[in-house]
Structure 1
């Protein structure tokens, strides 16, 4: 399967962050986008709320100028972060009303968030979802049916 450079780099950074316990959904430097952007937090100025899809003035200017951050547009970065938070069990953008997981750094919670992010990264780059294991089970079921 052929992938893009930005996809490979993003997945590598996310994998390393997960394995090295450097992933935290509520920290702008250690969340999915923070890790994709080399543990920088400048991306938080693209929106007024962590986890929101709404660009603020600064984000809109960067988007309209065609600016990319490690290959991703401001809109794509906000989508990545929102999918990560939702995958980790948050009910929406981080605020006082947001439902949050009890232990946001639990490996199972982070893994669910990363699976959602990898699926989105594949979608953004027009790649078949590398996390889709349904074909594996369909194949095994078909093989077993033949034996019966």
Structure 2
């Protein structure tokens, strides 16, 4: 399956962060967007609250000028982060009074967040969800309808 360069880079960075224990939802440098943007936190200046979907003045300015950060617009970055946080069990925006998971770095929880983010990233690029494993189990007349090689290629 052909994917965009921005999607390839994003997935590689998220994969690396997940397996190196460098993914943390509450840290602007180690969250989903922080990792996609090379562990920088400059993206947090696009909105007034972590997890918010509303661009602030700076965010709107970058959006209006068509600015992209590692291939993603400011609005897309906010959506990516909100998708990640929601899937990890946070009530948005991030605030100490809002609901959050007991153990924010639990691998199962982070995997749920990554799965949601990758699904969203695939939707942005109009490609089938690469996390969808259901084709592996499709069958007809008790035989697999797809060869494993077809699915991986």
Shorter-chain TM-score category?
over 0.9
Which position in structure 2 is the counterpart of 1:53?
A: 53
Within 5 Å, which residues of 2 pair with 1:1-148? 1-137=1-137, 139-140=138-139, 142-144=140-142
Which position in structure 1 is the counterpart of 2:146?
A: none
**Structure 2 residues not aligned, in runs of 5+:** 144-153
Q: Whole-Å Cα distance in 2 between the matches of residues 44 and 22 of structure 1?
A: 18
Runs of 4+ aligned residues of structure 1 deviating over 3 Å after TM superposition are 142-145
- State the Cα RMSD in Å: 1.5
**Structure 1 residues not aligned, in runs of 5+:** none
Aligned residues: 144
Q: Whole-Å Cα distance in 2 between the matches of residues 118 and 98 of structure 1?
A: 25
TM-score (norm 2): 0.90
Deviations 1:44-83 (A, max 9, x none): 0000010010000000000000000000000000000000
Report how far residue 97 of structure 1 moved. Answer: 3.3
The structure with the greater share of residues assigned to helix is 1
Report how far residue 92 of structure 1 moved. Answer: 1.8
